[in-house]
Structure 1
């Protein structure tokens, strides 16, 4: 690393052919250059293991954002070392890290009370126990991605209500989420972006609770929203209109066979600011 690269703040190695030995080399040869590092992106560096994580994070005490999307070799041990070495993280992306369990989530919950962004997409070994620890101890979360995690139940979903600053929530594929759980989530008054795609147990009751509780809702997900939920009808659309008509700009009801077709003018009467509306074909 050349002198001009001393005190680096951001490193992006996404899709790089990076292995543990390279991260050990950074630690052993250029540790002084990483003391001010704030962002480290190791997305799809699939040859990195816990040993590499331990090595590089041991010389990045001021790291604020860490992303290691789609790495199946990193385990709870790597997450434990990360949380011990980097105490100031506010943004953590573990999407696709399928070897991580509740043990890893407990390490995150115990060490990152200031965490603001957490992505757990497709971390399929996680259960209610681990998620509940996050929700109880990381109360400053603003963005939580639980995409394609079907093992969670209402027992955990109800505790999402403990996140007063939550703005973004992705629950795509939450097959066990019921109206009762969604009604608790409606207590997140600052929620603006919500994905309920394929939440197949949700009905009008849950969506109406969201509409009434989350009046600042802007997007029922930018791409998908109520997609695939056959239990919702025009009643939920009318509830959204009553409570979110001034903020809702994007709404996807593709696959919601209980919601009737409407003309553009009819939609604009319900949602004056609507820019994108997707209906079932």
Structure 2
């Protein structure tokens, strides 16, 4: 009742946050779409919304930013409509939505204005879905992509990202266990990147040294990359001297020698995470 009164009285609403709203249902979203031209909507923790809600949002055609998290009812059907009708969509976050598959990424490929996509923890997404996405009109415009814990994504996805995503500045592939050191080396040649998170990936000294080929990196997260040693970090630091933020948390083979190299080479560092690096001496 309160929501209906709100959207009836405030028809100019364009940005709405309904996070952690357990009573919000499809009827509520339908009221919003009937009475307002919502452009930005955050629905984190609203697990009872079904495809009907997202179909209503797609039909408004005014949607620019949408955030959804941990919703196990939204499916490819809804995302297909969003991809087809939401021509103004620029930012889409649909993390930890277990029914989302490659078909959703194929539908989103046609979103010509899409620049930010987060499908973290959507574990059914594969290399094929990433190829669908980047081969479409949205591929060259993507600026930020988060496929953290998409455990079926591997090196082939990185090959296609490297080929097509020439505007990509931010990439997160944390805990994508099928990404090998060869794939990581390719990211060192993706010179549009300024921020990279490969936490928990199979990156060793060879991969880290290759990442150093991209001297534009400002923010790099290497947490739990257990194969990294002082040698790899030294080579990276010698090339990426402008890095501002670096996480080496739980890189257990690093010693004081690596930190000395950082101190000498990376004078612009302002954030450094060394949590769990047990060989370091205070």
The TM-score with structure 2 as length reference comes to: 0.82
Q: Indicate the residue corresponding to 2:157 in structure 1.
A: 130
1:18 counterpart = 2:49: yes
Shift of 1:60: 0.5
Q: Indicate the residue corresponding to 1:252 in structure 2.
A: 273
Q: Indicate the residue corresponding to 1:202 in structure 2.
A: 228
Q: Residues of 2 paired with 1:208 and 1:140: CA distance?
A: 28
1:89 counterpart = 2:114: yes
Contact persistence 2:57–2:63 (CA under 8 A): no
Q: Secondary structure at the match of 2:44?
A: coil
Shift of 1:170: 0.9
Contact persistence 2:158–2:186 (CA under 8 A): no
Q: Residues of 1 paired with 2:227 and 2:200: CA distance?
A: 10
Shift of 1:167: 1.9
Deviations 1:127-166 (A, max 9, x none): 1112221122112211111112222111111110222232
Q: Which moved more, 1:129-138 or 1:5-14?
A: 5-14
Q: Secondary structure at the match of 1:162?
A: coil
Contact persistence 2:95–2:118 (CA under 8 A): yes
Q: Extract structure 1 runs of 4+ deviating beyond 4 A.
A: none
Shift of 1:11: 1.9
Q: Residues of 1 paired with 2:37 and 2:132: CA distance?
A: 28
Q: Count matched residues.
A: 249
1:172 counterpart = 2:199: yes
Q: Indicate the residue corresponding to 2:183 in structure 1.
A: 156
The TM-score with structure 1 as length reference comes to: 0.83
Q: Indicate the residue corresponding to 2:265 in structure 1.
A: 243
Contact persistence 1:140–1:163 (CA under 8 A): no
RMSD between aligned residues: 1.8
Shift of 1:194: 1.4
Unaligned runs of 5+ in 2: 1-6, 14-35
Q: Residues of 2 paired with 1:243 and 1:133: CA distance?
A: 32
Shift of 1:44: 2.2
Q: Pick from 121, 125, 130: which aligns with 1:105? A: 130
Task: Summarize the Cα distance change of 1:229–1:25 in structure 2 as closer, same or farther, 3 Å threshold.
Answer: closer
